[in-house]
Structure 1
Amino acid sequence: MSSSMAEPPGLTAAVVTVSDSCARGERQDLSGPAAAQVLEKLHFAVTVREIVPDDSIQIQNLVIRLAREVRLVVTTGGTGIAARDVTPEATVAVCDRLLDGVAERMRSEGWKKTPFAALSRGVCGVRGRALILNLPGSPAGAAESLQAVAELIPHAIELLSGKTEHR
């Protein structure tokens, strides 16, 4: 599934759902819409929504393309410990720099709700001028993880844009 529109001025985001079953049409994507809803409340224009299988090369290629098109690339799913969970590895392979503290913040907030947050291997990083965030595949986990770092995202994007004044 793919839908792309012209990039409006301001904060733009792409939401990528990583799921074999959603990509095959066997399961409805609930985490992507949950992430998009949070982003829209944060005044992001979600200009791209994609669903891809748990395939490292497909994830890498898509993230590379999207990092040229939007300021924020959010992935949902594929961050656990199952054999097909490869989103973190695919993300690390295409990032210029990792933001360990952002991923740690998401996990630490998740631990307050469920001990299973400790099983998330999601990473956050930068490619060019785009911020990339891996979120869990559950709708609640995706939304809560984004909310946990909501105040950091605009400042990170400003820094990536060259606005280096400290807050």
Structure 2
Amino acid sequence: MSTLGADQELLIGLVSISDRASQGVYQDQGIPALEDWFGRALRSPWRTVTRLIADDQPSIERALIELVDELGCNLVLTTGGTGPAARDVTPEATLAVADKLMPGFGEEMRRISLNFVPTAILSRQLGVIRGRALILNLPGQPKSIRETLEGVKAADGTVLVNGIFAAVPYCIDLLAGPYVETADEVVKAFRPKSARRPGSAA
């Protein structure tokens, strides 16, 4: 985890939403998977703030508000609670605290996951803006998290379908956040040429 250039580091809020994991019935896998992924994917400074909470709408709303309004996270990723079951209320909580809906993120997450499982159509994941932060609902399983962020690749590493994270650095730019650089071999960030820093490929 990078600690250099703290004034320009990306502050990432990670929220794992699970009744059983929050009660200690089993170990959470979402947050460790995300921290491992960011360790491979980011080339610029970053750090995380984590929360492990139950499938409870008021608790989810409070966590999102705290991470954005009080702690100043630039990016917040949730895992879990996006299906059709009665206890799956992550999208409702996310919408309740949103200033703007970013529908393309949810559409693309489902499109990516449909390359792997037909039940991806049951997901209600979405993306929103609150203040100057981007909030994204991700799947709960580490494999699905990686696929959603990175996309679909051929055996030789050729990108067949871009992951959603390719668009995240530029979105953070537009929200006046830190300049995020990625490891191209994991996920290649896309920016218009006019938005690229001198000496940066993206």
TM-score normalized by the length of structure 1: 0.89
* Alignment root-mean-square deviation, CA: 2.0
Aligned residue in 1 for 2:181: none
Deviation readout 1:86-128 (Å, 9 max, x if unpaired): 0000000001001110111111011001112111101101000
2:86 pairs, out of 83, 98, 101, with 83
- Which letter maps to 1:45? W
Residue by residue, what CA displacement relative to the aligned partner does 1:125-165 show, whole Å, maximum 9, x if unpaired? Answer: 100000000011112112221221111010000001189xx
Number of the residue aligned with 2:60: 59
Q: What CA distance in whole angstroms lies between the structure 2 residues aligned with 1:140 and 1:152? A: 20
Match of 2:123 in 1: 120
Counterpart residue type for residue 130 of structure 2: R
Q: Which stretches of structure 1, 4 residues or longer, exceed 3 Å deviation after superposition?
A: none
Inter-partner Cα distance in structure 2 for 1:127 and 1:83: 25
Higher helix share: 1
Q: Which runs of 5+ in 2 are unaligned?
A: 151-162, 179-190, 193-202
Report the 3-state secondary structure (helix = DSSP H, G, I; strand = E; otherwise coil) of the residue aligned with 2:165: coil
**Higher gyration radius (CA):** 2
Match of 2:146 among 134, 143, 147: 143
Shift of 1:31: 1.8
**What 5-or-longer segments of structure 1 have no aligned partner?**
none
Native 8 Å contact 1:40 1:46 kept in 2: no
Q: Secondary structure at the match of 2:147?
A: helix
Match of 1:158 among 154, 157, 173: 173
Aligned residues: 160
The Cα shift of 1:49 comes to 1.3
Write the distance in 2 (CA, Å) between the matches of 1:115 and 1:130: 31
- Give the aligned partner of residue 196 of structure 2: none
Q: Give TM-score scaled by structure 2 length.
A: 0.74
Percent identity between matched residues is 41
